[in-house]
Structure 1
Amino acid sequence: MMQRMGMVIGVKPEMIEEYKRLHAAVWPQVLKQIRNSNIRNYTIFLREPENLLFGYWEYHGEDFTADMAKMAKDPVTQEWWTHTDPCQSPLASRAEDEQWSMMQEVFHTD
């Protein structure tokens, strides 16, 4: 079963170019971990001047929590996050365990 998922986070204005640079050449091991975590069609959009990042992916696994825990334990992914997290500005309204704030799907059409 596929589940569409959207999420949002702020990006620090002074870090936008660095964030773009990082994502122009995502490390192959990070891309492999994303795929191994059953995530497909992962896209990040930037909205300026509000400096918001909107992420979208399609989850094709059976246990999202377990897959995300496995990803979080990956040393290469952890290293990647030491570069990307400082660029981000999490929303004050996010859940306690969230970096990116998950969004509720309210409409979809094919």
Structure 2
Amino acid sequence: MQRLAFKMKLKPGVKQEYIKRHNEIWPELKSLLTDSGISEYAIFLDEKTHNLFAFQKVDGTGGSQDLADNPIVQKWWDYMADIMEVNPDNSPVSIPLEEVFYMK
């Protein structure tokens, strides 16, 4: 099991819409993530900076960031593009974070 973390950025004033969309996550996307070995996935918001901090526990070597070619993921990106900072392909601007401490 590995732990992955990355940060993304939410556009100002869309916190409630972001929460709503994630509370209504598509069943096919949730299944894809679970089937890909993601057993835990949490996203935290720093309201002052609009930075999102994402954390995943993954069984295997890749996380959600490795599903870019999947049509379900691409559809989700398109759905979220209006409320997040995104790349030209609508993928979220995502910066991997290095784990520097872990206490078990």
Q: TM-score range by the shorter chain?
A: 0.7 to 0.9
The equivalent residue for 1:57 is 56
From 82, 86, 106, give the equivalent of 2:100: 106
What SS class does the counterpart of residue 9 from structure 2 fall into? strand
- TM-score, normalising length: structure 1: 0.78
Partners of 1:35 and 1:57 in 2: CA distance = 11
Task: Report the aligned-residue RMSD.
Answer: 2.2
The equivalent residue for 1:94 is none
What residue ranges of structure 1 are gaps of 5+ in the alignment? 91-96
Amino acid at match of 1:106: V
Normalized per residue, the structure richer in helix is 1
Aligned residues: 99
The equivalent residue for 1:46 is 45
Deviations 1:35-77 (A, max 9, x none): 122112100011112111000001111x428x81xx2222222
What residue ranges of structure 2 are gaps of 5+ in the alignment? none
The percent of aligned pairs where both chains have the same amino acid is 28
The equivalent residue for 1:93 is none
Task: Assess, with a 3 A threshold, how the Cα gap between structure 1 residues 20 and 98 changes in structure 2: closer, same or farther.
Answer: closer
Q: Which aligned runs of 4 or more in structure 1 are off by greater than 4 angstroms?
A: none
